[in-house]
Amino acid sequence: MADLHIEEFYQDSGKILLQLYRVFPRPTSVFVEDIAGADCADEFGLHGKRHLACLGTMLWLAEENLIRYDSLISQDAIDQGVLTQQGLATLIRLLPAYSGEGQQSLSAIHNIQHCLHHGTSTQMASLMQQVLFPHLTRGSDQA
């Protein structure tokens, strides 16, 4: 069983990439609350751990060259976010169909979309491992 923060990382990664894919190539703002839900700030107005973890996921995706952005909007969003060439190539790469509905393979982004709506967090974690770390998972020769 994976650690909760890792499962949340995979969920957030999928949602962020899907949001940017849906508007590609147009840059857009990606708000943490749209990905992770409402923030539970403390009595000093500081963001909660869940909010900061989601923001960290956005920054990690940028550091790994899957997305880019112009600036942060406080600690609430990335501004002018867009998929990079590597990010788009990662999302259109064919993977075994997550849904198992008779199709041999689907693009990673279609698998992500289906899993976000119909899968469990464990299934999403497994899928995102294939998407983000193809060299570490089985089936990497399909890339």
Give the start-to-end residue ranges of the domains of the chain: 4-87, 93-133
pLDDT bucket at 15, cuts 50 / 70 / 90: very high
The closest alpha carbon to 55, from 120, 67, 88, belongs to 67
CATH fold of 4-87: Arc Repressor Mutant, subunit A (1.10.10)
pLDDT bucket at 3, cuts 50 / 70 / 90: confident
Distance from C-alpha of 30 to C-alpha of 19, rounded to nearest angstrom: 8
pTM: 0.88
Tell me the pLDDT tens digit for each residue of 23-70.
999 999 999 999 999 988 787 878 889 999 999 999 999 999 999 999
Tell me the pLDDT tens digit for each residue of 112-121.
999 999 999 9
